[in-house]
Each structure stands twice: as structure tokens, then as C-alpha cells.
């Protein structure tokens, strides 16, 4: 996926964009070979962190939906009791 993102904060111009993937590759090209194992570990930890946050957000959302379902079921039961 080619990600072009507005980079007004870096360029000072609202019409400039930066390809972050290419910018990252350009930065990495300048690094010495001996730092690549550490960089790879940093990238993997970052990726795991992002995935973990996404999973946690999904679990939280599911818990909230479950609570809404329970509350709406309780409200419906109370409403039906009032009709009898």
C-alpha cells in the first residue's frame, strides 16, 4: 500500500505530501549494517504493539455491545411487564 500523507508540519506547506514508506526506506539506507538486527526488533515490537492495541479495542467494543444488548433486553422485559 502506497501511503501518501499530508506533511504540512514537516514542509511548512499545505500542498506537499510525503511518501512515508519511501522516507523510511531512505532513512534506513543510511544506517550501518550492524544496527539492522536492533532496528528489525524495534519494528517487530512496534507492529506487535499496534496489533495488540487493535485487538484490545475490538474486545472493548465487543464488551460494550454485549452490555448494550443486556441493557436493551432488560428494558424490553420491563416494558413487557408493564403491558401485562
Spell out the SS3 assignment of 29-43. Answer: HCCCHHHHHHHHHHH
What is the C-alpha to C-alpha distance for residues 58 and 68, in angstroms, rounded to an integer?
Answer: 15
| Predicted local distance difference test score (pLDDT) of residue 84 | 76
79 and 63, same domain (yes or no): yes
37 and 22, same domain (yes or no): no
Please count the structural domains in the chain: 2
| Predicted local distance difference test score (pLDDT) of residue 1 | 45
| Predicted local distance difference test score (pLDDT) of residue 2 | 45
Full residue range of the structural domain in which residue 38 is found: 33-84
Please tell me which residue, 27 or 51, carries the higher pLDDT value.
27
81 and 49, same domain (yes or no): yes
37 and 15, same domain (yes or no): no
38 and 51, same domain (yes or no): yes
23 and 38, same domain (yes or no): no
| Predicted local distance difference test score (pLDDT) of residue 8 | 44
Rounded-to-10 torsion of CA 33, 37, 42, 44: 120
17 and 42, same domain (yes or no): no
Query: What is the rounded average pLDDT for all residues in the chain?
Result: 81
22 and 42, same domain (yes or no): no
| Predicted local distance difference test score (pLDDT) of residue 45 | 92
- The residues, ordered by sequence, that sit 6+ positions from 56 with a Cβ below 8 Å of its Cβ are none
Amino acid at each position: 500500500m502506497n501511503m501518501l500523507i499530508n506533511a504540512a508540519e514537516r514542509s511548512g506547506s499545505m500542498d506537499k505530501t510525503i511518501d512515508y514508506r519511501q522516507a523510511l526506506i531512505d532513512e534506513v539506507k543510511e544506517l550501518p549494517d550492524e544496527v539492522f538486527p536492533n532496528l528489525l526488533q524495534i519494528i517487530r515490537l512496534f507492529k506487535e504493539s499496534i496489533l495488540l492495541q487493535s485487538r484490545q479495542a475490538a474486545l472493548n467494543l465487543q464488551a460494550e455491545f454485549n452490555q448494550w444488548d443486556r441493557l436493551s433486553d432488560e428494558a424490553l422485559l420491563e416494558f413487557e411487564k408493564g403491558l401485562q
